[in-house]
Amino acid sequence: MSIDVVSLGCRLNAFEGEAMKRLAREAGLGRAVIVNSCAVTAEAVRQTRQTIRRARREQPEARIVVTGCAAQIDAAAFAAMPEVDAVVGNDEKLIGARWRSLAKGGERILVNDVMSVRSTAPQLVEAYGDRARAFLQIQNGCDHRCTFCIIPYGRGPSRSVPVGDVVTAARRLVDEGHAEIVLTGVDITSYGADLEGAPTLGMLVERLLIAAPKLVRLRLSSVDGAEMDPRLVDLIASETRLAPHLHLSLQSGDDMILKRMKRRHRRTEAISFCRNLRARRPDIAFGADLIAGFPTETDEMFGRSVLLIEEAGLNFVHVFPYSPRPGTPAARMPQLDRAIVKSRAARLREAASAALVRFLDDQIGKRADAVIETGGRIRLPNFAVGKLSAPSGAPGAVIRVEILARRGDELVAAPVHAKEAA
Ligand code: SF4
């Protein structure tokens, strides 16, 4: 009896999707489709509904179970859909007993108050990902209240996986041959604040690098630069096994908008953070999330977000057109016309694409230790991806390459040994 999991949204959702598949199978749920929803934008919720309807059409006999942030935030709305058999909350989805109760035909809505959750679920899966890169969850939830964000209402308070559990899981991943581990969560820079002795993310990273000497590369998923502890910054500056790549949650380049977003940094701090770290680690690359069209944003304010890309030296910019999320303070602010939101997002994407092209062109002629991913793709330490000019090695292998060219927003590289032999 097949259990299909469709995970929308973030890596954490995909990670948990693997765990749910195992729990549902062990519980004997039978033929089912689990839709692991996302609520980060109105579009994500629309796609969740679309996925549910498609699952029902394609598998009329299967049980349709909806979980994830959209289901956690608005369980009744999903339970009311005729296609849906059950709704499971973000905490319940990782508890075996809940799946056993569903398998026995128990309650169809299993959603508790996620704000009351204080612990992370034990590591239910060894890894999510492939031989090349494994995603390891170290934290869940968020204690911040950025005014545009619905995530805390879906994920609950910040809670960390104990250091020992993370180290054990990481060592197992290395023993299984994973070349790169990506530490993931919702707000990983708040790691440890809820644990005894309040270990910081920097302390955890240091422990991991010592405990797993054979680990080729450790990468961090999205971080809040304003909350990075000094030990972590020092490690990124000096430790070559720590990927020279940070994806920053910047959101805007204008101080008034950052204030209205309730972010913890200001424009000049973001710029000096990137410049200082780049001075200490010249091969570092920065990614960032930027929102276009936040309520009350003027053209001038928006202009500062565009300028930020160059002033902070951002390389991989993800642009999000502002999407009002019901229940968030920003949704009650005076909204901009959707046409303005869309056109600003397009302009920001143009600037982002130009920055990426500059960055990729700058890699040509350089050499690096790339990890081979599935499908012959390679990933460089600074997060750039590309293709090999000559097939070489299996997924998970680490090879020395020389960057030959850029093709669109990917690179073309030659295995060094092959080139030297020619
Ligand atoms: S830090 Fe802000 S944007 Fe990030 S999950 Fe928490 S509330 Fe949302």
Domains of the chain with CATH codes: 3-112 (3.40.50.12160), 114-243 (3.30.750.210), 245-363 (3.30.750.200), 367-421 (2.40.50)
Task: Give mean pLDDT, residues 77-88.
Answer: 97
What pLDDT was estimated at residue 374?
A: 80
Cβ(152) – ligand 1 distance below 6 Å: yes
More confident residue, 230 or 122: 230
More confident residue, 250 or 18: 250
Q: How far apart are CA 280 and CA 361, in angstroms?
A: 22
3-state SS of 202-217 is HHHHHHHHHHCCCCCE
Cβ(151) – ligand 1 distance below 6 Å: yes
Using DSSP, state whether 169 is helix, strand or coil.
Answer: helix
Please give the span between the terminal C-alpha atoms of the chain, in angstroms, as a whole number. 53
Give residue 115 CA to ligand 1 midpoint distance, Å.
15
Asked if the model's pLDDT at residue 334 lies above 90, the reply is yes
The one-character DSSP state at 115 is: G
Asked if the model's pLDDT at residue 348 lies above 60, the reply is yes
* Residue 248: strand pairing partners: 223, 288
What pLDDT was estimated at residue 107?
A: 87
What pLDDT was estimated at residue 106?
A: 84
What pLDDT was estimated at residue 274?
A: 98
Average pLDDT, rounded, for the chain:
93
Listed in sequence order, the DSSP H helices in 262-361 are: 267-280, 299-311, 338-361
Asked if the model's pLDDT at residue 422 lies above 60, the reply is no
Cβ(146) – ligand 1 distance below 6 Å: yes
What pLDDT was estimated at residue 254?
A: 98
Give residue 102 CA to ligand 1 midpoint distance, Å.
32
Task: Give mean pLDDT, residues 193-210.
Answer: 97
What pLDDT was estimated at residue 126?
A: 52
Q: Which of 211, 199, 218 has its CA nearest to residue 168?
A: 211
Alpha-carbon distances of 252 from 220, 322, 354, rounded to whole Å = 21, 11, 18
Give residue 72 CA to ligand 1 midpoint distance, Å.
17
Asked if the model's pLDDT at residue 81 lies above 70, the reply is yes
Ranked by mean pLDDT, the top range of 90-104, 167-181, 338-352 is 338-352
Identity at 274, one-letter amino acid code: C
Q: Which of 100, 108, 58 has its CA nearest to residue 81?
A: 108
Q: Sorting pLDDT into bands at 50, 70 and 90, what band is 14?
A: confident
Task: Give mean pLDDT, residues 161-185.
Answer: 93
Q: Which of 287, 161, 282 has its CA nearest to residue 225?
A: 287
pLDDT (tens digit per residue) in 266-316: 999 999 999 999 999 999 999 999 999 999 999 999 999 999 999 999 999
123-127, 148-152, 253-257, 362-366: which has the minimum mean pLDDT?
123-127
Give residue 224 CA to ligand 1 midpoint distance, Å.
9
What pLDDT was estimated at residue 418?
A: 55
Mutate which of 13, 40, 142, 328 to test ligand 1's pocket (most atoms within 8 Å of Cβ)?
A: 142
Q: Which of 406, 361, 403 has its CA nearest to residue 381?
A: 403
Mutate which of 69, 114, 143, 187 to test ligand 1's pocket (most atoms within 8 Å of Cβ)?
A: 187
What pLDDT was estimated at residue 396?
A: 86
Measured by CA distance, the residue closest to atom 2 of ligand 1 is 146
- Burial pattern 323-359, b for ≥16 Cβ within 10 A else e, equals bbbeebbbbeeebbeeebbeebbebbbebbeebbeeb
Asked if the model's pLDDT at residue 15 lies above 80, the reply is yes
Asked if the model's pLDDT at residue 237 lies above 60, the reply is yes
Atom number of ligand 1 nearest to Cα 142:
6
Give residue 13 CA to ligand 1 midpoint distance, Å.
16
What pLDDT was estimated at residue 410?
A: 96
What pLDDT was estimated at residue 376?
A: 81
Asked if the model's pLDDT at residue 6 lies above 70, the reply is yes
Using DSSP, state whether 127 is helix, strand or coil.
Answer: coil
Q: Sorting pLDDT into bands at 50, 70 and 90, what band is 394?
A: confident
Q: Sorting pLDDT into bands at 50, 70 and 90, what band is 127?
A: low
Q: How far apart are CA 149 and CA 78, in angstroms?
A: 21
Cβ(142) – ligand 1 distance below 6 Å: yes
Task: Give mean pLDDT, residues 371-391.
Answer: 91
Residues 6+ apart with CB under 8 A from 397: 179, 371, 372
Task: Give mean pLDDT, residues 222-247.
Answer: 97
Q: Are 177 and 131 in contact (CB under 8 A)?
A: yes
Q: Sorting pLDDT into bands at 50, 70 and 90, what band is 122?
A: low
3-state SS of 337-356 is CHHHHHHHHHHHHHHHHHHH
Atom number of ligand 1 nearest to Cα 262:
2
8-12, 108-112, 138-142, 406-410: which has the minimum mean pLDDT?
8-12
Residues 6+ apart with CB under 8 A from 313: 274, 275, 278, 286
Cβ(258) – ligand 1 distance below 6 Å: no
12-21, 67-76, 94-103, 244-253: which has the minimum mean pLDDT?
12-21
Asked if the model's pLDDT at residue 258 lies above 70, the reply is yes
Q: Are 352 and 305 in contact (CB under 8 A)?
A: no
- Extract the tokens encoding 293: 């069209």
